[in-house]
């Protein structure tokens, strides 16, 4: 049983690192070159493909986080009454609320076309159609792809993720 607990905690932590680390990588390392450079169709297609793969990875991480989180909460708390009556349970509820905000952002980000600083990079189907329609010469030319200077949702998700990490540390050390 102790091995199962260790495995579930490890999977939970690895899934959280994957999601939050991906957001951080996107904001700090991936987005700036696309924002600062001249954009062509190929660079937007590349960014769209990265966003698409990242969303698959995040979806898998969310699934693992939910399963392992339920298991870990049950092992740690054991009852609904303890969830609402203990300081540990109340802090866990705060962590769950922050997690819910991150899931909402994950769901609405591509629908609002605001998951990338490059307009259109969230809509991979549109980019693929655009790519197929253009000749090789046209692809190589610079095209006017608007840049969103104020992409807020990924940054809010990152802040929520960092707050979740803080809650997790407080839960672990019983503060």
| pLDDT (0 to 100) of residue 28 | 87
At which residue do the structure tokens 């690192």 appear? 17
pLDDT score recorded for residue 17: 95
For position 95, what pLDDT does the model report? Answer: 94
Q: Name the residue among 153, 149, 120 with its Cα closest to residue 46.
A: 120
Please work out, in degrees rounded to the nearest 5, the angle formed at the alpha carbon of residue 44 by the alpha carbons of 42 and 48: 115
Q: What is the pLDDT of residue 119?
A: 66
pLDDT at 4: 94
- Give the count of alpha carbons within 13 A of 74, CB side only: 8
SS3 of residue 86 by DSSP: coil
Which pLDDT score, from 0 to 100, does residue 16 have? 95
Helix ranges (DSSP H) in 26-122? 31-36, 41-76, 80-85, 87-111
What was the pLDDT predicted at 134?
A: 64
Whole-number average pLDDT of the chain: 82
Integer angstrom CA distances of residue 141 from 18, 118, 138, 146: 36, 17, 5, 15
pLDDT of residue 100: 94
Q: What is the dihedral of CA 115, 119, 123, 124, to 10 degrees?
A: -100
**Which segments in the chain show pLDDT lower than 70?**
37-40, 111-114, 119-150, 175
The Cα–Cα gap between 92 and 139 comes to: 50
């Amino acid at each position: 049983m102790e091995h199962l607990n260790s495995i579930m905690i490890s999977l939970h932590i690895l899934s959280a690192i994957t999601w939050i680390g991906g957001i951080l990588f996107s904001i700090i390392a991936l987005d700036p070159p696309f924002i600062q450079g001249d954009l062509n169709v190929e660079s937007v297609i590349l960014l769209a493909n990265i966003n698409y793969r990242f969303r698959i990875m995040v979806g898998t991480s969310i699934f693992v986080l939910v399963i392992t989180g339920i298991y870990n909460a049950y092992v740690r708390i054991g009852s609904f009454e303890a969830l609402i009556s203990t300081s540990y349970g109340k802090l866990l509820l705060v962590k769950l609320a922050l997690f819910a905000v991150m899931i909402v952002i994950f769901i609405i980000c591509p629908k609002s076309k605001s998951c990338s600083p490059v307009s259109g990079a969230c809509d991979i189907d549109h980019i693929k159609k655009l790519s197929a329609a253009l000749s090789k010469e046209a692809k190589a030319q610079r095209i006017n792809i608007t840049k969103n200077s104020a992409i807020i949702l990924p940054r809010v998700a990152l802040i929520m993720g960092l707050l979740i990490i803080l809650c997790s540390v407080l839960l672990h050390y019983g503060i």
